[in-house]
Structure 1
Amino acid sequence: METTPPSSVSTGSLSRTERLDRLPVTRKHTKLLTGSGIGWALDAMDVGLIGFIMAALTVHWDLSQTETSWIASIGFVGMALGATFGGLLADRFGRRHIFALTLLVYGLATGAAALSTGLVMLLILRFIIGLGLGAELPVASTLVSEFSPRAIRGRMVVLLEAFWAVGWIAAAIIGTVLVPLGDNGWRWAFAVGVVPAAYALVVRLTLPESVRYLESKGRHEEAETTVREFEASEPTAGFLQASAASSQDRVLDESQQDAAITGSTEPVTSIWAPSMRKRTAAFWTVWFCINLSYYGAFTWIPSILASNGYSLVKSFTFTLIITIAQLPGYACAAWLIEKWGRRVTLTSFLVGSACAAGLYGLADVEWAIIAAGCLLSFFNLGAWGALYAVGPELYPTPLRATGTGAATGFGRIASIIAPLIVPPLLVFGGTGILFALFGVAFAIAAAAAFTLPELKGTALAEK
């Protein structure tokens, strides 16, 4: 018989979720963030590598720009489906299990892609890779968000997103070093991507399952054990701890919190329920526009530079420099998101992205290309960090992974379209028109972001 009380019943004066919300940052939090972040970085490494591999295969396989664009787009088709169904599966079977499964799927498929004998085989494997990649991101951000102390939840998720820059930089280094080695350099780059398959075992054995998920499934004894492990863990010092200690919680009981966050005193059963409709539409708009601009630009930058007369090595080196600017972008967003709040931070970085995209479209000399590219990298990836922090806060526990996954999946439609529209736009309008379009998309995303609710300092809704 179940004897341990659920979340809604207090243990002492606080429920389990409230106990988690009020904890300092412990070694268990750091381990969770790092463990999830490594998976996130491996995901980014795979996505980043394809831009370098596309540029190489255009030469080695004599591909047209249309064929090359399909290599990128087919992966995003898989990511769209993976994100949508990954969130649903995570709400049903648990965050940790689905996280490990996604790593296994895309790791094995990436290793197999190194053995591709032609374009068709590569496209099939890229689709399977996309399924795993797309499912991982909303699941990992949900898991970290549900464990993070309330006062710095946004900062923790932005720091998780910062691992994307680590993975993309790794991709740029691998692309610069391995891909130009010869006709089979791209195969060695794919072979490195098998690492996530091995890391899936680490995730399965070491990362905890979400307490909120366990309680939503009636597994209260497991939830209590996990909370006690976090409570017994040694607090850490540093940036996160100081932020948590200086922040103020909003003092509301759980029913008041849920009503304040979801706008309804009744349980929310759908992301399109009346109280959710406006935020879901705005959230999906941001996801669509940021995907269109980010993947349209960063997937094609190595190939665009190469087509403009730069050698593969030089274009890859430029891309590596531009990629490094992602790190300070994330760091700035991580600091501002608990100072300015989610909405203002996200909107500001999207406006900066729009301006940087316009500057890149006008750049015609090396220093200007690098400077504008670094600005685009800084603002765009800072916006990504803020966006991932916003998502899990918008929905209650039973719909959290579903809501973030559905928005991610919708955004992936734009990432499918983006690589396909680049070649014709380059032919008819050149780089200026292409990046003007990306700038407009960023501006639309900024307008939509400004309509989202500000949920800084609130507890995650439970129903």
Structure 2
Amino acid sequence: MIIDELNAMKPNRFHYKLLLIAGLGWAFDAMDTGIISFIMPVLTKEWHLTSTEIGMLGSIGLLGMAIGAILAGALADHIGRKKIITWTMLLYGIATALSALAPNYEFLLFCRLLVGLGLGGELPVVATLITEYSPQNSRGRFMVMLESFWAIGWLLAALIAYLVIPLYGWRIGLAVGALPALYTGVIRAHMPESLRYLMKQQKLAELNETISQLERATAVPLTRCTKQELKALNTQPINSNLSTLWSKQYALRTAMLWITWFGIIFSYYGIFMWLPSLIYQQGFTIVKSFEYLLIMTVAQFPGYISAAYLVDKIGRRYTLSLYLLCSGISSYFFGHATSETVLLTSGIFMSFFNLGAWGVIYTYTPELYPTEIRGLGSGWAAGIGRIGGIIAPILVGFLLSQQLHMDSIFYLFASVFVLISIVVLCFGKESKQQALESIK
């Protein structure tokens, strides 16, 4: 049967092409997210914004991402992964272009909300699609490789911030973020719909046409599906709604994922959305801050590579727990740095482990739900996580306005990392090299 052939297939040109297409979209997402954090110090000076206003600017996009993830995840289970990916990329590309034209703070806030809707909707659905096409024994590696494109996007954002913004201003930097709107044509032409989605939706003609395209792309003979086989696969349909995620069968994994997503996004955005400003407040110039952030961004690549190796060796649960714990330790030392050397070294390790953990969480989440609710489960987990991202930048802005020192703020982030590391270790279910069809 086609699913067995898909699981057993060795990684080939088709898989790497799909990874590249999806990964470039992922990089554009990261570039857009990174650019807004890099322009925060500039906007603070140009528009005379308060810490609370800057925190709101960071959080409004996360509000959009929370709504987008939940809506897009549910829709992807009903109308398809490919359509949702295309529409969400178009939305956030256009909204980013409008952000570059913002005449005032309020208009920029609205645009960032729209950017978040598109961005938050795309990420969990792309992860779902790549999960459903990756060969069983190398699925973890492919998913972490997908997430590694995030570092490429952040690197591009850092380069734009370092080379473009000081010379040409923040508007030009944001204008570059409109590129995803043009990239949607590539998505529509070269990204196939998920075979597993088509099977669950009983779309026989489209399914066999996609199998034919896959056969040509892989040069591997593949079995076509019959109407009887599709009916046999759907003898026990699962209701795709929120109550299913909290049924007895899925409640523990849903709780574990929601807590972990909330914690990792809370700490990530609390730290990284404010990172340029925090470094700047320690006495470094904006240009020097960008240099440090560029170095920290490069450190993300070996973090992804190591996670990609470990995730299929020791498993998702242990790798994720380890990287979250090390993220907490690194963030503690970063917040308590008393010299440039300690600041830079701890920042490098913080980026290494934190982004490695992101690679694993995007691998892990879709694997814990069956196809009928995979988009729904992934979308809700990411959406709940974004609530943590909404709270964190505002909270940091408030704490800074209360004259709270940075080391106290980083106590909080370090503690959250350690806590969710324990949650994953105690309540996580291992899914290493498990067939997606065996997930119940």
TM-score normalised by length of structure 2: 0.93
| Structure 2 unaligned residues grouped into runs of 5+ | 221-228
Matched with 1:45 is 31
1:211 alignment partner, one of 185, 195, 214 = 195
Aligned twin of 1:161? 147
Amino acid corresponding to residue 193 of structure 1 in structure 2:
G
Aligned with 1:360 (options 325, 334, 349):
334
**What is the distance in 2 between the residues matched to 1:385 and 1:327?**
11
2:203 counterpart of 1:200: no
Deviations 1:65-99 (A, max 9, x none): 11111111111110110011010111111101110
Equivalent residue number for residue 181 of structure 1:
167
Residue 319 of structure 1: aligned partner: 293
State the SS of the aligned residue for 1:233: helix
For residues 442-457 of structure 1, the aligned pairs below 5 Å read: 442-450=417-425, 451-457=427-433
Q: Tell me how far apart the structure 2 counterparts of residues 160 and 413 of structure 1 sit (CA, whole Å).
A: 24
Does 2:115 correspond to 1:147?
Answer: no
Q: Which amino acid aligns with 2:433?
A: G
What is aligned with 1:415? 389
CA–CA distance in 2 between the matches of 1:226 and 1:459?
A: 21
Change (3 A) 1:289 1:444: same
Partner of 2:225: none
CA distance in 2, matches of 1:428, 1:336: 41
Which residue number in structure 1 is paired with residue 436 of structure 2?
460
Residue deviations 1:234-278 (CA, integer Å, cap 9, x gap): 489xxxxxxxxxxxxxxxxx9xxx9xxxxxx96543111111000
Contact between 2:54 and 2:397, CA under 8 Å: does it hold in 1? no
In 1, the alpha carbon distance for the partners of 2:218 and 2:189 equals: 21
Aligned AA (2:430): E
Match of 2:405 in 1: 430
Aligned residue among 86, 98, 109 for 1:123: 109
Q: Which runs of 5+ in 1 are unaligned?
A: 1-14, 237-253, 259-264
Paired with 1:180 and 1:370, the residues of 2 have a C-alpha distance of 22
**Separation in structure 2 between the aligned mates of residue 319 and residue 54 of structure 1, nearest angstrom:** 14
1:222 to partner: Cα distance? 2.2
- CA offset at residue 232 of structure 1? 4.2
The equivalences for 1:380-399 within 5 A come to 380-399=354-373
Separation (CA, whole Å) in 1 of partners of 2:330 and 2:284: 22
Deviations along 1:379-415, one digit per CA (max 9) or x if unpaired, are 0000000000001101011100110000000000000
Alignment partner for residue 353 of structure 2, among 349, 355, 379?
379
- The correspondence of residues 234-249 of structure 1 with structure 2, limited to 5 A, is 234=218
**1:297-350 deviation digits (Å, cap 9, x = unpaired):** 011010111122211111111111111111100000001000001101111100
Deviation at 1:371, TM superposition (A): 0.5
C-alpha distance in structure 2 between counterparts of 1:196 and 1:233, whole Å: 25
Within 2, Cα distance between the matches of 1:289 and 1:364? 27
Task: Give the structure 1 partner of residue 3 of structure 2.
Answer: 17
State the distance in 2 between where 1:366 and 1:412 align.
Answer: 32
Could you tell me how far apart the structure 2 residues matched to 1:455 and 1:235 are?
29
Identity of aligned residues (%): 45
Answer whether contact 2:198 2:207 (CA < 8 A) is retained: yes
Partner in structure 2 of residue 332 of structure 1: 306
In 1, distance between residues paired with 2:314 and 2:114? 39
RMSD of Structure 2 on Structure 1 (CA): 1.7
Displacement of 1:428 in angstroms is 4.2
Distance 1:271 1:175 in 2: 41
Instruction: Give the count of matched residue pairs.
Output: 421
Letter in 2 for 1:32: L
Mapping of residues 298-313 of structure 1, within 5 Å: 298-313=272-287
Distance 1:66 1:266 in 2: 51
Instruction: Please give the alpha-carbon distance, in whole angstroms, between the structure 1 residues aligned to 2:236 and 2:74.
Output: 22
The amino acid across from 2:384 in the alignment is F
Q: Which amino acid aligns with 2:432?
A: K
